[in-house]
Chains A and B, each alone.
Chain A
Amino acid sequence: MTITDAREALTAEPGASPASGAPIRQSNLWRDAWRRYVRNKAAVVAGTVFVVVLLYCLIAPIASPHDPDAVNFALSSQTPSLEHPFGTDKFGRDLFTRTALGGRVSILIGFGATIAILFIGVVYGAISGFVGGRIDNGLMRFLDALYGLPYLPFAIITLAIIGRTNTWTMMIALSIASWFTTARIVRGQVLTLKENDYVRAAKAVGARWYRILGRHLLPNTLGVLIIAIFLELPGVILGEAFLSFIGLGISPPDPSWGAMAQEGRTVFRSHPTAIIVPSIAIATLVLCANFVADGLRDALDPRTRES
């Protein structure tokens, strides 16, 4: 036994002394995180609802007996009933089916843009953080400038440049307008990790930069990235909703939640359902994403948990 053992025995936390004989269980980081996540009831509920909504958007249009594009003024503006669980819009189209269809578009745009944001953000942030020095400085100053462009106008202009507004262009425009924060976060992570001893150790044995980046730095940012997905998603979905609502995004008759809200606006005094349904759909998805993000944050970094 050495001095360190003696010191350890004196100062060890109860239950932690290796000399006590009990084996120290190697715990898997992901398994621990999953267990912590599951303990957060709100996050679990939110995750479940999220999946339910996704399934609804996928399945309902296939399973539904109604044609989402069939205009039939005889059925227009009905309140919810058994035949039409969400009612009908002003054109007589079944809202239950249309909301699901709209959801497909909105969610697709949401995820697509989020992935694009992550991609751009990671590349930009990783390069900036890893290379460091004056290039990092320059890239960050440029980023500061980009922050000066307000979100919606930037997206609007991008769409105007592209010329068309459909699902793919919306994805591009929204992602271009909102990758900045992710880039900053990734750069921050890379900077902190770069100073870590194990990175120095890798460098000391002559590991090449791409190996260090790929093997050491990026996997450790994985947790942050997963959280970032669920943090960016609400912003993008709301972005699409706003753009379509003011008429500069997905336009009718193509369904998206924002476009449906816009259609519902004109009749909402007499028939509020038409605007409320897609809005609640948006709100639900955004809420769930927020709770899931909170749950993930607590699960992946227990230090942030409130005592």
Chain B
Amino acid sequence: MALLEVNDLRTHFFTREGTVRAVDGVSFAVEKGRTLGIVGESGCGKSVTALSIMGLIPKPPAKIVSGSVVYDGQNLTSLSERKLEDLRGRKIAMIFQDPMTSLNPTLTIGTQITETIRRHYDVPKSQARKKAIELLEEVRIPRASERLDDYPHRFSGGMRQRVMIAIALSCDPKLLIADEPTTALDVTVQASVLDLLDDLRTEHDMAMIIITHDMGVVAEAADDIIVMYAGQVVEHASTLDLFDRPEHPYTEALLGALPQIEGEGIREGRLTAIPGRPPDLIDPPQACRFGPRCPYAGDDSCTQQQPELRELRKGHWVRSAHPASERVGAARREGAPA
């Protein structure tokens, strides 16, 4: 049984302007010790999915309207807030995008680490502090014992993210959700943080969900990838298979938009951008949501019904009426709609 199983999750935001169907039928599984990457553009619902798993969506406007999130046999969507609090940080941990604002500026990082430990374990302060120093060393912060009582503003961006990782690891969770962990960091720092995450993952035998819009990050860090678009999963495959033989037109476009320096299939000249924009999630059309931007969309099923997520080959699911392998021989339509 997988460590985490998300089944047909739907999270909607009830606002004055209408109901935003931010996550509209998302399913995936994460196995113990493996890393799942979730990619997609801003607004596709990847962060909301992560927050829904943790139960951290803002409850007044948002609500998980249907679906289940099963972790280690327990359905999280039916748990009370108190039970969820017991779970967070201890069994599932999460780190966020902006390390500058994600740490409380008025508390020392030592406090912010030890409070997590002492929340989930009944240990005296001194022992928690010792563990905190160990954690800081593990995330490669130099002079850890001296810096324990420093405030966040004394650390650089990259180091703050490491502190966040230390906090996340403090209670030895079996699943770590990383929401755009490197987006706010410099490119050089990104690489070291990703390396760190990888090392820690293997050492602690931890599963990881890494959320990003950067295909490069996910190529390096993930074992399996799901591609999200407009609140739905449009492709799900192992990393190798996704990059080797992408099926969904959106995935192809994402990969086509990547700059390449060398290797096979290097494009001569221009990169392709994807014209158009994602549909309004307040009243999504009853058709394929990617249709308006898809170069292969036909007048048939693409405009009338939503394609189902189907297993095209072993371990590779696609939600499209025109996946690449069914397109062999089919010519690309002239004058694709914008």
Contacts and interface: CB of A to CB of B under 8 A. Distances in A.
Do any CB atoms of chain A lie under 8 A from CB atoms of chain B in the complex? yes
B280 interface: yes
B192 interface: no
B41 A12 contact: yes
Contacts of A10: 41, 213, 254, 257, 274
Contacts of A17: 275-277
A1 B277 contact: no
Given A3-B259, A20-B338, A14 B277 contact: yes
- Which residue among B259, B273, B280, B338 has the maximum number of chain A CB atoms within 10 Å of its CB? B273
B59 interface: no
A11 interface: yes
A161 interface: no
B42 interface: yes
A84 B284 CA distance: 64
B271 A12 contact: no
B205 to A, nearest CB: 33
A138 B275 CA distance: 57
B267 to A, nearest CB: 11
Contacts of B271: 1-3, 5-6
B257 A15 contact: no
B307 interface: no
Nearest to B256: A6
Interface in A1-25: 1-3, 5-17, 19-21
Contact of A6 (B43, B272, B338): B272
B231 to A, nearest CB: 11
Q: Give the interface size class of chain A.
A: 10 to 19
Contacts of B279: 14
Interface of B is mostly: loop
A14 B276 contact: no
B275 A19 contact: yes
Given A3-B259, A10-B254, A21-B338, A15 B272 contact: no
Contacts of A19: 273, 275-276
Given A6-B272, A11-B41, A20 B254 contact: no
Interface in A223-254: none
A2 B184 CA distance: 22
Interface in B107-155: none
B273 A14 contact: no
Given A20-B277, A20-B338, A11 B213 contact: yes
Given A12-B41, A20-B275, A20-B276, 17 more contacts: A1-B270, A1-B271, A1-B273, A2-B271, A3-B271, A5-B273, A6-B257, A6-B272, A8-B273, A11-B213, A13-B42, A13-B43, A15-B280, A16-B277, A19-B276, A20-B338, A21-B338
Please list the 5 inter-chain residue pairs (A to B) with the smallest Cβ-Cβ separation, ordered nearest first. A6-B257, A9-B273, A5-B273, A14-B278, A6-B271
18 contacts: A2-B271, A3-B259, A3-B271, A5-B273, A6-B258, A6-B259, A6-B272, A10-B41, A10-B254, A11-B41, A12-B42, A12-B277, A13-B42, A14-B42, A14-B280, A16-B277, A17-B277, A19-B276
